Structure 1
Amino acid sequence: MHYSAELQKQMLQLARSAIASHLNIEPLISCEAEQLNENGASFVTLTKNGNLRGCIGSLQASRPLQEDIVQNALAAAFRDPRFRPLTSSELPLVTIEVSVLTEPEAVSFNSTEELFSLIRPDVDGVIIEKGYHRATFLPQVWLQLPTHPQFFSHLLQKAALPEDTPLTDLTVQRYQVEKFTEH
């Protein structure tokens, strides 16, 4: 997966346009690019003054990438339960990042050490699952949580699992992203 600079720009414009349209600032734009009509999974991350302001995404490619970006931009701006809905006065202060995910792949491991050896910091995003508990961190999260123990400890917390849950009890998948940010 590789997106041209022009296509990256279109995806960022699409995400911003979806939010602006919802706020009745401007009409929603559409993109004609063929690659955006293929099914894709994306995350849209909003930051304000360098701080997280919303982040919602899809782990599976189940709808056209264009639609996935629009829906995740709206969800990140208005339905992320960690934040109040974005206001029109905040929109100019927000930076948008779009991450397009590869298909998640199962990771087979027999020990915590083996798991850590199979997950590459700054490269792999991780999905953990146990029963009804599920959580993911994008590869970008390694910047804040640079060690495997930190990364997985916070991932367990995000999944609402006890911090002493053995990692060998989890189903683990990894994926990579191509990400682009507004300048």
Structure 2
Amino acid sequence: MAPGPSPEAAYAPEERARLRDIAAASIRHGLTQGAPLAVGLGTLPAKLREPRATFVTLERSGRLRGCIGTLEARRPLAQDVADQAYAAAFRDPRFVPLEAGELPDLELKISVLSPPEALSAEAARALPDTLRPGIDGLIIEDGPHRATFLPSVWAQLPDPQDFVAALRQKAGLPPAGSNPNLRAFRYTTEEF
């Protein structure tokens, strides 16, 4: 099944608020305990206990402060959000660990990913023509090289050629060229 735009109401406002609260609590817990929050799943709605892959993005004053996630659903959604929020705050290698003084200005975004759809070899060779700008996230793999861009990256790279070239560079590949072993997967997200 090909991914499509995530339904607007896949998660109800109260479920979204609960996930945001869990992410914020995990960051606060990390500041005092040095570990992500262990989420008590028993009282959560069933949708928040389903295995899902997530990314948590942190921004401060409109600038990226951390972004970590997973591409494969391995944990219940609520726990994955807690783990990724902690990792974005304290383990993103591009940034120093978050400090308590940064909390008041911190904005967090949660992206819940659809299962990745493998693209055919032909589609992988013609990625710029295959992608749906603003909708598709993309994973590329070629041997040890792997990288992803969330759909939100289209805001900075709206041209499909530029989007693919930048992702190839992120993966450690030349920005253009033919890679016969390149594998590509697309996915959608619900971001809040």
TM-score of the two chains, using structure 1 as the length reference: 0.90
Residue 19 of structure 1: aligned partner: 27
**Are positions 1:91 and 2:91 aligned together?**
no
How big is the shift at 1:109? 4.4
Residue pairs, 1:68-87, within 5 angstroms: 68-87=80-99
Output one character per residue of 1:74-132: Cα deviation in whole Å (capped at 9) or x when no partner. 11000000000000000111100000000000111426784323210100000000001
Within the candidate set 100, 103, 109, 2:115 is matched to 103
Q: Which runs of 5+ in 2 are unaligned?
A: 1-6
Amino acid at match of 1:12: R
Letter in 2 for 1:161: L
Match of 1:152 among 150, 158, 164: 164
SS in 2 for 1:46: strand
CA distance in 2, matches of 1:123, 1:87: 34
Q: Deviations over 1:124-175 (max 9, x none)?
A: 0000000011000000000000111111111011111122342664200000
Q: Is the 8 A contact 2:124 2:184 kept in 1?
A: no
Could you report, residue by residue, the CA deviation over 1:8-53 in whole angstroms, capped at 9, with x for unpaired residues? Answer: 111111101100111129xx57562221111010000000010110
- Structure 2: which amino acid aligns with 1:70? A
Mapping of 1:162-173 within 5 angstroms? 162-166=174-178, 169-173=181-185
Kept after mapping to 1: 8 A contact 2:139/2:147: yes
The answer for the alignment partner of 1:129 in structure 2 is: 141
Is 103-112 or 140-149 further displaced after alignment? 103-112
2:128 corresponds, among 113, 116, 119, to 116
Q: Give me the whole-angstrom Cα distance separating, in 2, the residues matched to 1:115 and 1:23.
A: 41
Contact in 1 for aligned 2:129/2:160 (Cα 8 Å): no
Query: What's the % identity of the aligned pairs?
Result: 46
From 7, 11, 30, the equivalent of 1:3 is 11
**Equivalent pair of 1:112/1:167 in contact (CA under 8 Å):** no
Pick closer, same or farther for the CA change 1:104–1:20 going to 2, 3 Å.
Answer: same
Shifted more, 94-103 versus 110-119: the winner is 110-119
The 8 Å contact of residues 156 and 163 in structure 1, kept in 2 or not, is answered as yes
Q: Secondary structure at 2:101's aligned position in 1?
A: coil
Which residues of structure 1 form unaligned runs of 5+?
Answer: none
Structure 1 residues 65 and 19: alpha-carbon distance in aligned structure 2, compared to 1, 3 A threshold: same
TM-score by length of 2: 0.86
The number of aligned residues is 179
Structure 2 CA distance, aligned partners of 1:9 and 1:111? 38
Give CA deviations for 1:53-89 in whole Å, capped at 9, x if unaligned: 0000010111111111111001100000000000000
Aligned residues: CA RMSD: 2.1
Q: Which has the larger displacement, 145-154 or 28-37?
A: 28-37
Amino acid at match of 1:160: G
